[in-house]
Structure 1
Amino acid sequence: MTPPRRAAVLGSPIAHSLSPVLHRAAYRALGLDDWSYDRFDIDEAALPGFMGELDASWAGLSLTMPLKRAIIPLLDGVSDTAASVEAVNTVVIGADGRRLGDNTDIPGMVAALRERGVEKVPTAAVLGAGATASSALAALAQICAGPVTAYVRSEARAAEMRGWGERLGVDVRTAGWDEAARALDAPLVVATTPAGTTDALAAEVPERPGTLFDVLYDPWPTRLAAAWSDRGGKVVGGLDLLVHQAVLQVERMTGRVPAPLAAMRAAGEQALAAR
């Protein structure tokens, strides 16, 4: 009989996280009755102590803010994908105890777009310049043939985005946030900003919009996403991203492929509707 296995999501704050809902739905669908998935409110200061107490029952961890970089020095290895953006959102703990970091946000973004028929675009725009924006650039490196324009609030952020572009092989141009309405004419717009930031842009959606990828999932839809959809544009939402990156986490942690995407999405939709 195999011993029970554990996994969890770490971050601070963490109470809002849908990860337990998605992973537990996957375990039920896969018949992994002896697996558990929890959430722990852990900040950067508490992370080393938490990692030091993990025992052989642990199979993996999901990491959210502010831990995606803080975890790296505590690992035995990091995938090329995670290293490319210096961000780990997944730790897989092997039978030998080795702790390997990965990033499923990047392939999750690509998978979410492909699910909606977005395989290649000639150009793209990114709204924002945080950690999610760098992951967006890494995803765009795989599907965008031409330049990506990032709309940001400061020259320091603009310089960061250009630096990420050089590192990831993406031709990144930058513009001020006061010009963000211009972004909406791009064939693919990726909004990576906090809730409410893009609300004022809802009135600027063009008559024939392309695709909007808004990484938020609560509240949903955002004003921008609702206006985009009303104009007939294609919308990919934060739940799409969350589910696709969680699918990859489940596969890496459990070794079971494919993970049950439909069951995980249904569980996430039900949980959001109940909020």
Structure 2
Amino acid sequence: MPAAPATDPRRAAVLGSPIAHSLSPVLHRAAYAELGLTGWTYDAFEVDEAALPGFVAGLGEGWAGLSLTMPLKRAVIPLLDEISPTAASVDAVNTVVFTEDGRATGDNTDIPGMVAALREHGAEKVESAAVLGAGATASSALAALARICTGEITCYVRSEARAAEMRGWAERLEVAVRIADWSRAEEALSAPLVVATTPSGTTDALAAAVPEAPATLFDVLYDPWPTALAARWSAGGGAVVGGLDLLVHQAVLQVEQMTGRAPAPLTAMRNAGERALADR
């Protein structure tokens, strides 16, 4: 889309349930301020799957885009005119852009956001990787690893149902995946790259097993931060990529798509996110 005039009133928002914890308004508003988009606003709305169709149908003129968090990343797809190949690869849309001709297009900036966050910390290519957990975030992690991992990816999961899900994603994404039981998760910590996609507290028990010279950990959580695993990893001299890194990089891509302004102000957005977390 063309670059938006600074004074042109436009709206954007993040939708999800729950949504009160979201840092997206902080990041996007910081970007608008840095870019001089004085007519732009960005809000947060509590919207669940049942309410999503009505919310989208009720949007009037002046909307530039939407950010979507759980549980809406798949629920939104039938409401869109088109989705990108990246979003289609994991059946998940976290970004909706409304074009000037009235179309609603969907994309997934989580996947390139993960790749960008890893590259920023020096992880551009790895020979193998380990993923802790399964589910939507893990599928995005697999898609990101498909771009930077040249060898096998081992996924540590708690159930056969989760194992089957990850095998399905691996086949769809055409990546080599080995499934291991969660009881062996300590083995993951010796991988060149470990991606933790589990809820808060799940990996705390693994902190004591961090090796003496850990490589790179990507923990997708950002609040509370650091996690016990991330703190121990950092203390051991390993590289740590956090959830705020991911959040900022995927938001940078969202801002660029919604506003037509590039590059988006990554540093200003990161600083705003760090301040907001420190205030919590």
TM-score range, shorter chain: over 0.9
Which residue in 2 is equivalent to 1:16?
A: 21
Q: Does 1:60 align with 2:38?
A: no
- Of 31, 35, 42, which residue of structure 1 is paired with 2:40? 35
Which residue in 2 is equivalent to 1:121?
A: 126
Deviations 1:171-219 (A, max 9, x none): 0110111110000010000000000000000000001111000000000
CA distance in 2, matches of 1:162, 1:149: 11
Which residue in 2 is equivalent to 1:154?
A: 159
Checking the alignment, whether the CA contact within 8 Å between 1:60 and 1:92 is kept in structure 2 is: yes
Checking the alignment, whether the CA contact within 8 Å between 1:69 and 1:88 is kept in structure 2 is: yes
Counterpart mapping for 1:82-231 below 5 A = 82-231=87-236
Checking the alignment, whether the CA contact within 8 Å between 1:126 and 1:191 is kept in structure 2 is: yes
Counterpart mapping for 1:63-78 below 5 A = 63-78=68-83
Q: CA deviation at 1:3?
A: 3.8
CA distance in 1, matches of 2:111, 2:8: 32
> Secondary structure of 2:100's partner?
coil
How many aligned residue pairs are there? Answer: 275
Unaligned runs of 5+ in 2: none
CA distance in 2, matches of 1:171, 1:96: 41
CA distance in 2, matches of 1:118, 1:183: 17
Checking the alignment, whether the CA contact within 8 Å between 2:130 and 2:188 is kept in structure 1 is: yes
Which residue in 1 is equivalent to 2:30?
A: 25
Checking the alignment, whether the CA contact within 8 Å between 2:109 and 2:253 is kept in structure 1 is: yes
The residue type paired with residue 182 of structure 1 is E
Checking the alignment, whether the CA contact within 8 Å between 2:63 and 2:98 is kept in structure 1 is: yes
Q: CA deviation at 1:96?
A: 1.1
Checking the alignment, whether the CA contact within 8 Å between 1:75 and 1:101 is kept in structure 2 is: yes
Q: Does 1:271 align with 2:243?
A: no
Deviations 1:129-167 (A, max 9, x none): 010000000000000000100000001101111111111
CA distance in 1, matches of 2:273, 2:54: 31
- Of 235, 242, 245, which residue of structure 2 is paired with 1:237? 242
> Secondary structure of 1:113's partner?
helix
CA distance in 2, matches of 1:257, 1:229: 33
CA distance in 2, matches of 1:170, 1:263: 35
Checking the alignment, whether the CA contact within 8 Å between 2:130 and 2:153 is kept in structure 1 is: yes
Checking the alignment, whether the CA contact within 8 Å between 2:191 and 2:215 is kept in structure 1 is: yes
Q: CA deviation at 1:268?
A: 0.1
Identity percentage of aligned residues: 78
Unaligned runs of 5+ in 1: none
> Secondary structure of 2:65's partner?
strand
The residue type paired with residue 238 of structure 2 is G
With 156-165 and 235-244 compared, the bigger mean Cα shift is at: 156-165
Checking the alignment, whether the CA contact within 8 Å between 1:228 and 1:235 is kept in structure 2 is: yes
> Secondary structure of 1:249's partner?
helix
Checking the alignment, whether the CA contact within 8 Å between 1:56 and 1:97 is kept in structure 2 is: no
- Of 47, 51, 55, which residue of structure 2 is paired with 1:50? 55
> Secondary structure of 1:235's partner?
strand
